[in-house]
Amino acid sequence: MARAAQFERNPRIDADVQLLLGRFRDLIPDGRVIPHEEIERLIKLNRQSSRYLTVTRRWRDVEFHEHHVFLDGRAALGHGFKSLTPEEMVRYSHRTVRQVGRKLQKAIRVAALPDPSELTADSRIFQARLMVAVEQITSTHKRVLIDLSKAMQPPRTLPRGA
């Protein structure tokens, strides 16, 4: 039996990650943006290259797991990576949870599209199990997700008495 090919870690990528960790060793969750241009100059890679993406992904993983700093590219609006503040981290998580809920709703609609008569017996069984499982997940957690959404909204002001 043939052995599966093993991928070896590229030492140049690890060296670039260490370079970024050394340069940005004082990162804290303070909302600062680290521009792509500065990273490109430091590791001598273009941001469109796959190696740049690999290096920055690994660097961001280390910052997250070891230093508890979350670097978000979307929050930086294409200018680099933003070190999210604690408040922004909570909002990011809330937004992500809401996205998961929308993805589950879409999954239900997509799984329900095929007519069971068009499916094989195994696929019909799987479709039914999938529909039940996703429906159970969404119905169980729907109330919690609604409460979370309400908690993130600012409190409503009461009308003043005349």
Query: 50-87 pLDDT, tens per residue?
Result: 999 999 999 999 999 999 999 999 999 989 999 999 99
Instruction: Give the integer Cα–Cα distance in Å for 75 and 88.
Output: 9
Alpha carbon 85 to its chain's center? 16
Contact 30, 77 (CB under 8 A): no
pLDDT tens column, 102-128: 888 888 888 889 988 999 999 999 988
Contact 34, 25 (CB under 8 A): no
Question: Is-above-0.75 flag for pTM?
Answer: no
Instruction: Give the integer Cα–Cα distance in Å for 47 and 36.
Output: 7
What percentage of residues in the chain have a pLDDT greater than 90?
49
Alpha carbon 40 to its chain's center? 23
